Copies of this chain bind each other. A is one copy, B any other.
């Protein structure tokens, strides 16, 4: 998607160790018009998969997931990383290693908002190793629901996430693909 690619090219910073800083448009500041365009593009690409629900993980997945949900007119659920007092006693919980934080995080969903038989479209900001998205997949399966697609704003193709998700046999769409971050550069797929 050209609009996002141009912004990542202009504002993204390679901080080394595979860390891409896009705080000016995704992870701290958000441009709502750009994010809305991303949501529209996800909606277009996944319309034929007939999802019944969008699933993401707090925090930075919320903006793209919400805008996608807006265009598909679906509810969005964001997995929590700590259990609020408002959640029921029994929840779906899984552990996912966090790439950028170097530790493990919990991903928690209440059974109230993810039911057996639902068709789930996962939307997140990054696809890197796929650890967070695989966590969302496990939660979906625990709920007896199925995955119909996976969308991500930015994919780092060199970290193996797509391969790790391939077994699901669902469409995986990245709006921007980065193929290398060696030598301080950011190389985009054509």
**A residues adjacent to B (C-beta < 8 A):** 13, 15, 19, 21, 23-24, 27-33, 35-36, 58-59, 62-63, 66-67, 69-70, 73-78, 80, 82, 84-87, 100-101, 109-110, 112-113
A27 to B78, alpha carbons, bound, how many Å? 9
Given known A-B contacts A23-B87, A59-B78, A69 and B113 have beta carbons under 8 A apart: no
A123 to B92, alpha carbons, bound, how many Å? 30
Q: Is the CB of B66 within 8 A of A35?
A: yes
Interface majority SS on A: helix, strand, loop or mixed? mixed
From B21, B69, B84, contact of A86 by CB (8 A): B21
Set of chain B residues within 8 Å of A78, measured between Cβ atoms: 28, 30, 59
